[in-house]
Structure 1
Amino acid sequence: MKYQMLWLALVLTIAAEANAAAKQGKNTTITALIVFGDSIMDTGNNNNLPTLLKCNFPPYGKDFPGGSTTGRFSDGRVPSDLIAEKLGLAKTLPAYMNPNLKPEDLLNGVTFASGGTGYDPLTAQIMSVISVWDQLTYFKEYISKMKKHFGEEKAKDILENSIFLVVSSSNDLAHTYLARAHRYDRTSYANFLADSAVKFVRELHKLGARKIGVFSAVPVGCVPLQTTVYGGLLTRGCNQPLNNMAKQFNSRLSPALDSLDKELDGVILYIDVYDTLYDMIQHPKKYGFEVADRGCCGKGTLAMSYLCNSLTPFTCSNSSAYIFWDSYHPTERAYQVIVDNLLDKYLSKVYDV
């Protein structure tokens, strides 16, 4: 009886520890983070491209570990890094186009994101960056590398148990629409982009992805670049027609992804970031920020990429007080708030698969 009781106690202890681990460390089943999209998730893929849209120079990266100018469009880390850390994979997510990337660097995932791109192929063409569709081609190359260096089983495990994130649309809405206005009105263009996003997810699923999250459009009409140009010198209000396009994109994308989730195996999620960022911009003090209508770099009215450089005057000393780093991109701290507010909610759905 004594040994039976000891055995029962041991079993119960193991079960309790396993249950605690499941609650606290559900991400142990996540093998990697694979990311597609634009500058929000780019960790340096544009560095060696013949494009003006790059940021591998100071003061970009001033709050990154070591003050490195990595090519991230922020003062520090970006959501791809923060999400990878939250998943327990790594503190930073490497850019796939990094020429110094080693095979073992691929194991925890990579980002294919390219600043300035969009769902509309014309967007990448105009900006001379990597389209999301070309990012799929690089993803096929990534799969081949995984099979070559780590075997078929490891590649299969990566595909089945990784989280895939897709973040795009802002550049399409804010810039490319003007070149498409002869063909689309605002509503039809937003719908075209949403349909393109769904097509992208289908293609990604065909390649083996099974846990896919697609970010909504953000309130791009409220970034400092838009409020400076369209919001008026005194009021600096949001560009509402642009925000309405973003909301139209979201209203088309969300139910389409829900339908796709029911149709395909795995999990396909619509991740709403619009409301969180909009509330942050409208009520900065609620989130611990002091400035919401200007960026830190050069006071961020029209400063972005090469217009935000080491010679730019008046770059703030405390970027954590600002929601925006430059005239278009949030600070690391703003990204952290967004990730903390949204990720647990959506990742719990992935863990339940």
Structure 2
Amino acid sequence: MVVSTMKLWLCGGCLFLRCIILLGVLCKTKGLVKLPPNVTVPAVFVFGDSIVDTGNNNDNKLTPAKCNYPPYGKDFKGSIPTGRFSNGKVPSDLIVEDLGIKEYLPAYLDPNLQSSDLLTGVNFASGGAGYDPLTSLSAAAISLSGQVDLFKECIGKLKGEVGEERSNFILNNSFYIVVFGSNDISNTYFLTRVRQLQYDLPTYTDILLKSASNFLKELYQLGARRIAVFGIPPLGCIPFQRTAAGGIERNCAEQINDAAKFFNAKLSNKLDSFNQQFPDARTVYIDVYTPLLDIILNYQKYGYKVANKGCCGTGIIEVVELCNRFVPTCPNDLEYVFWDSFHPTEVVYKSLISPIVSKYLPKFL
């Protein structure tokens, strides 16, 4: 896997440059969520797949799971395709914006990353990744262990910038967002059926949960205490799965939705056990299945016109390389629930994330 070299500018103990870093930290956005006066969330660190990736796959020449080309990013600032799998911002950006930390959450492997970014959080997510090592390997994505290794590297740089005491404060009080599982169920289990030949669904989901548990323990050992673990969305209703498994009428593939619900229930129980094992941690299951399914099934109530196709191309199969500058896009992506055949539009992400942050924030405090 090709990983771009970080070009972080060094302070070298220079007081002037350190003041610039601190000024950068103070220049926050106006958050939509009001934190209690005694609560501090200095940074957000994100681990996951294409739902939250903000460009870590851009320089990975081996993976097809990247989108640093038009029409991706058409509604992003400057209409720049940054590697975000949407027409604009993705959940990782919206979370830091709602918390008033900063406007965007940069990819850790962004060659333009600044030292000051480390103090307020960065993104380690990689499109195509999963809890199952085979999922990440098949997509040439950065695996769970690979994302942890990048986080360890980040911690070392953070300590070099602000010292161990301040670094530990940042690590212990920050929010950690974990978004995996969709590729495991949608692609590795149902689409390619590689794991179906080896395991039934209960066994496979147990394997995913064991991987998730080990991953969370690593984050805990590295200082994470506030961890939000997102469940799987209603995968059977994304346009691609409607096309592949929804029959001639392209209905939601209920078998895949049932698998997502099955996994989510077990994940929620696993997190309860994790909190009992580590009582000083706040590890919270985030339900995205229910609110997104409501938008998909009742899309007209929310002001959308199309929920069974993506905005890009025909909308039934186009994603990543098939969604490119040579295929048309819909006239108005504000009318669409999905941008491509896998990923929602920015406007849908916005309608999901703010209520989620408001609903679950008290559980971390």
User: Considering the TM-score relative to the shorter chain, is it more than 0.5?
Assistant: yes
1:146 aligns with 2:158: yes
Residue equivalent to 2:269: 255
| Structure with larger Rg | 1
For 1:32, give the aligned amino acid.
Answer: A
Residue equivalent to 1:41: 52
1:348 aligns with 2:362: yes
1:212 aligns with 2:227: yes
Unaligned 5+ segments in structure 2 are 1-32
For residues 285 and 112 of structure 1, the distance between their equivalents in structure 2, rounded to whole angstroms, comes to 35
Instruction: Flag the structure with higher helix content.
Output: 1
Residue equivalent to 1:9: none
For residues 202 and 253 of structure 1, the distance between their equivalents in structure 2, rounded to whole angstroms, comes to 15
For residues 54 and 114 of structure 1, the distance between their equivalents in structure 2, rounded to whole angstroms, comes to 9
Root mean square deviation of aligned Cα:
1.5
For 1:183, give the aligned amino acid.
Answer: Q
Residue equivalent to 2:218: 203
SS of the residue corresponding to residue 93 of structure 1 reads coil
Residue equivalent to 2:300: 285
For residues 344 and 206 of structure 2, the distance between their equivalents in structure 1, rounded to whole angstroms, comes to 26
Residue equivalent to 2:36: 26
Residue equivalent to 1:55: 67
Residue equivalent to 1:133: 145
Contact kept in structure 1, 2:95 and 2:354, CA below 8 Å:
no
- TM-score, with normalisation over the residues of structure 2? 0.87
For residues 288 and 202 of structure 2, the distance between their equivalents in structure 1, rounded to whole angstroms, comes to 20
Percent of aligned positions with the same letter in both sequences?
A: 50
Equivalent residue in structure 2 for 1:170, among 182, 185, 189 = 182
For residues 344 and 221 of structure 1, the distance between their equivalents in structure 2, rounded to whole angstroms, comes to 27
For 1:117, give the aligned amino acid.
Answer: A
SS of the residue corresponding to residue 357 of structure 2 reads helix
SS of the residue corresponding to residue 212 of structure 1 reads strand
- CA shift at 1:243, angstroms? 1.2
- CA shift at 1:299, angstroms? 3.4
1:230 aligns with 2:237: no
For residues 201 and 209 of structure 1, the distance between their equivalents in structure 2, rounded to whole angstroms, comes to 9
Contact kept in structure 1, 2:88 and 2:345, CA below 8 Å:
yes
For residues 105 and 124 of structure 2, the distance between their equivalents in structure 1, rounded to whole angstroms, comes to 10
For residues 40 and 158 of structure 1, the distance between their equivalents in structure 2, rounded to whole angstroms, comes to 25
- CA shift at 1:336, angstroms? 0.8
- Comparing 26-35 with 120-129, greater Cα deviation is found at 26-35
For residues 336 and 24 of structure 1, the distance between their equivalents in structure 2, rounded to whole angstroms, comes to 17
What count of residue pairs does the alignment treat as equivalent? 328
SS of the residue corresponding to residue 262 of structure 1 reads helix
SS of the residue corresponding to residue 55 of structure 1 reads coil
Deviations 1:126-147 (A, max 9, x none): 1111012210111000100000
Contact kept in structure 2, 1:55 and 1:305, CA below 8 Å:
yes
For residues 259 and 180 of structure 2, the distance between their equivalents in structure 1, rounded to whole angstroms, comes to 14
Deviations 1:244-283 (A, max 9, x none): 1111111111011012112211211011111111111111
SS of the residue corresponding to residue 35 of structure 1 reads strand
For 2:98, give the aligned amino acid.
Answer: K
Residue equivalent to 2:9: none
- CA shift at 1:212, angstroms? 0.5
Equivalent residue in structure 2 for 1:323, among 337, 349, 352 = 337
- Comparing 268-277 with 180-189, greater Cα deviation is found at 180-189
Unaligned 5+ segments in structure 1 are 1-22
Deviations 1:295-350 (A, max 9, x none): 0011321100010011103x112111111000000001111111022111111221
- CA shift at 1:232, angstroms? 2.2
Runs (4 or more) in structure 1 with deviation over 6 Å come to none
